[in-house]
């Protein structure tokens, strides 16, 4: 959704870019007018916030823009402007653009944020340190992006011998020992680039001992959430593990499934949301609450509003609150399913397309967890015309292995119709399937001959 925040960010970026061209004052004033006009016409409810946002955007670049207004009519050319221009035209700037693949905009931003890098007396050392960086991170994928991040975040390392590139050893350690992918590593570099190998190993040791995790599972947690290495073991992670155990949650399973629990705020998130689940579904038995949150620990992570949206959808489809409570107590993962992407298409297919009653689905809520593409569609469609599908229990159709299903119903897997074709025929009949139809048409779906 395009909001005033998106527009504000775009405006700030554009004004900053134009601040290094001519006619800056006119551009900034015109941009401010159009932004104000856009929101006064289309977003009356957010007018105050929009105006404040644009004023912040405007003020953040006003000084830069003023420094570059044409010197002849405005008489504004001063030492700072010349310094900025000299930095952009310096040998280091050219080196960054030609050898290290920096864009001109990236160089301009670096000049603005860290002018000391481009000081005449520093250029020689910075150039030498850049060469050392390439050797230190030799073989690291997308190394130039990493360089831009570290130059922006930690310019001190490139300015003095007092700082060694070894402070970035943790990045290489995370990549080598825990196989964290490049995109995650780049995100990690913006947060904890100077985390030492010893600090990383302390977090890994905690995960292995407190949660009894194997090296492979520690790798998965670091992969999903590399910022975890920046949190204090005793004051942050241990307290959260202790809380989970206090409400009878299997902390090992819960944290392996949702590692964000290890750094989630206790006071603002975990405690109130555990209480919400208890009250909303009437789990007076602590053991039952612990069982539910162990199976669906994301209920401590997602907002109550998201959970309420799913409850309301199920109620509109005909489920009673008692049925929903029972479903959640048995298969709480149902509340992890998004309404538009999963619940609506699956209900539309199982309930509306093939006529299974709400009671039948409530008695086997696991049916909503199966893949529509790989399990629900091929099996129900294969039975169509062969047997009276609604008269068979879903438990007889969905859980069996591939071989057992085909043997039980005398089905040849080669006869399965692709989901894309079937949904294309059904989209105009079932509103709940329309979104899935449009989504599938933009994706290369393979004929569903395997179930998983």
pLDDT band for 403, please (50, 70, 90 cuts): confident
Burial of 368 (0-12, 13-18, 19+ CB in 10 A): buried
pLDDT band for 269, please (50, 70, 90 cuts): very high
Sequence-distant (6+) residues with CB within 8 A of 436 are: 345, 372, 423, 427
* pLDDT-above-70 percentage for the chain: 72
Segments of 175-281 assigned E as strands? none
Q: Is the pLDDT of residue 383 over 80?
A: yes
Instruction: Say how far apart CA 65 and CA 63 lie, in whole Å.
Output: 5
**Per-residue model confidence (pLDDT) at position 31:** 42
Q: Is the pLDDT of residue 177 over 70?
A: yes
Q: Is the pLDDT of residue 179 over 50?
A: yes
pLDDT band for 411, please (50, 70, 90 cuts): confident
Tens-place pLDDT, residues 54-95: 434 434 443 444 334 333 333 333 445 777 888 888 999 999
**Per-residue model confidence (pLDDT) at position 196:** 86
Instruction: Say how far apart CA 318 and CA 315 lie, in whole Å.
Output: 5
Comparing 8 with 302, the larger pLDDT belongs to: 302
User: Which uninterrupted H or E stretch holds 405?
Assistant: helix 402-409
Instruction: Say how far apart CA 9 and CA 164 lie, in whole Å.
Output: 35
Comparing 34 with 190, the larger pLDDT belongs to: 190
**Per-residue model confidence (pLDDT) at position 58:** 38
Query: Which range, 174-188, 193-207, 313-327, is most confident?
Result: 313-327
**Per-residue model confidence (pLDDT) at position 182:** 76
Tens-place pLDDT, residues 92-144: 999 999 999 999 999 999 999 999 999 989 999 999 999 999 999 998 888 99
Local structure of 368: helix, strand or coil: helix
Query: Which range, 18-32, 63-77, 205-219, 437-451, is most confident?
Result: 205-219
- HSE-up of 124 (CA within 13 Å, CB side)? 2
Q: How many helices (H) and strands (E) in the chain?
A: 26, 0
Are 92 and 127 in contact by the 8 Å Cβ rule? The answer is yes
Instruction: Say how far apart CA 99 and CA 93 lie, in whole Å.
Output: 10
pLDDT band for 402, please (50, 70, 90 cuts): confident
**Per-residue model confidence (pLDDT) at position 56:** 43
Sequence-distant (6+) residues with CB within 8 A of 60 are: 12
pLDDT band for 313, please (50, 70, 90 cuts): very high
For 436, the token pair is 């899935």
Sequence-distant (6+) residues with CB within 8 A of 409 are: 382, 383, 386, 387
- Domains for the chain: give ranges and CATH numbers: 1-77 (no CATH), 231-336 (1.25.70.10), 338-452 (no CATH)
Local structure of 384: helix, strand or coil: strand
Comparing 206 with 3, the larger pLDDT belongs to: 206
Are 4 and 46 in contact by the 8 Å Cβ rule? The answer is yes
**Per-residue model confidence (pLDDT) at position 190:** 67
User: Which uninterrupted H or E stretch holds 89?
Assistant: none
Q: Would you give the distance in Å from CA 448 to the centre of its chain?
A: 29
* pLDDT-above-90 percentage for the chain: 41
**Per-residue model confidence (pLDDT) at position 13:** 47
- Residue 429 phi, psi dihedral angles, 5° rounding: -90, -35
**Per-residue model confidence (pLDDT) at position 406:** 86
Q: Is the pLDDT of residue 240 over 90?
A: yes
- HSE-up of 168 (CA within 13 Å, CB side)? 26
**Per-residue model confidence (pLDDT) at position 448:** 30
Helices (H), 19-168: 24-42, 47-67, 71-74, 79-88, 91-98, 104-113, 123-136, 143-153
As a whole number of angstroms, the longest Cα–Cα distance in the chain is 89
Are 314 and 320 in contact by the 8 Å Cβ rule? The answer is no
DSSP string, 255-278: HHH-GGGGTS-IIIIIHHHHHHHH
Tens-place pLDDT, residues 320-338: 999 999 999 999 999 999 9
Q: Is the pLDDT of residue 297 over 80?
A: yes
**Per-residue model confidence (pLDDT) at position 175:** 87
Instruction: Say how far apart CA 402 and CA 385 lie, in whole Å.
Output: 20
The sign of the dihedral angle between the CA atoms of 186, 189, 192, 197 is: positive
Tens-place pLDDT, residues 334-351: 999 999 999 999 999 899
For 169, the token pair is 């050893």
Are 227 and 237 in contact by the 8 Å Cβ rule? The answer is no
């Amino acid at each position: 959704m395009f909001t005033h925040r998106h527009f504000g960010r775009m405006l700030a970026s554009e004004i900053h870019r134009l601040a290094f061209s001519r006619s800056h004052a006119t551009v900034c004033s015109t941009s401010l007018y159009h932004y104000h006009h856009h929101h006064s016409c289309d977003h009356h409810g957010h007018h105050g916030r929009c105006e404040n946002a644009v004023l912040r955007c405007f003020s953040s670049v006003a000084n830069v823009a003023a420094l570059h207004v044409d010197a002849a009519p405005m008489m504004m050319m001063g030492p700072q402007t010349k310094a900025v221009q000299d930095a952009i035209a310096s040998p280091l700037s050219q080196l960054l653009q030609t050898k290290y693949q920096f864009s001109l905009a990236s160089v301009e931003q670096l000049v603005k944020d860290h002018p000391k890098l481009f000081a005449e007396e520093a250029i020689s050392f910075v150039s030498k340190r850049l060469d050392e960086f390439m050797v230190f991170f030799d073989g690291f994928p997308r190394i130039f992006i990493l360089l831009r991040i570290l130059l922006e975040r930690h310019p001190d390392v490139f300015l003095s011998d007092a700082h060694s590139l070894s402070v970035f050893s943790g990045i290489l350690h995370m990549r080598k020992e825990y196989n964290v992918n490049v995109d995650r590593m780049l995100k990690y570099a913006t947060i904890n680039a100077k985390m030492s190998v010893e600090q990383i190993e302390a977090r890994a040791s905690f995960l292995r001992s407190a949660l009894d995790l194997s090296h492979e599972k520690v790798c998965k947690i670091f992969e999903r959430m590399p910022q975890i290495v920046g949190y204090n073991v005793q004051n942050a992670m241990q307290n959260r593990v202790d809380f989970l155990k206090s409400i009878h949650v299997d902390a090992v399973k819960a944290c392996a499934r949702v590692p964000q629990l290890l750094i989630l705020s206790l006071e603002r998130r975990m405690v109130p949301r555990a209480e919400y689940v208890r009250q909303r579904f009437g789990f007076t038995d602590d053991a039952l609450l612990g069982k539910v949150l162990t199976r669906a620990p994301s209920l401590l992570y997602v907002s109550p509003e998201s959970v309420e949206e799913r409850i309301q959808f199920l109620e509109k489809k005909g489920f009673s609150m008692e049925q929903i409570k029972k479903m959640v107590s048995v298969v709480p993962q149902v509340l992890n399913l998004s309404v538009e992407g999963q619940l609506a298409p699956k209900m539309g297919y199982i309930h509306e397309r093939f006529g299974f009653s709400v009671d039948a689905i409530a008695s086997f809520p696991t049916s909503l967890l199966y893949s529509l593409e790989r399990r629900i569609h091929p099996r129900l469609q294969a039975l169509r015309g062969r047997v009276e599908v609604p008269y068979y229990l879903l438990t007889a159709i969905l859980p069996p292995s591939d071989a057992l299903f085909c043997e039980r119903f005398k089905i040849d897997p080669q006869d399965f119709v692709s989901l894309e074709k079937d949904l294309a025929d059904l989209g105009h009949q079932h509103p709940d399937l329309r979104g899935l139809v449009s989504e599938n048409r933009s994706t290369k779906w393979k004929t569903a001959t395997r179930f998983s």
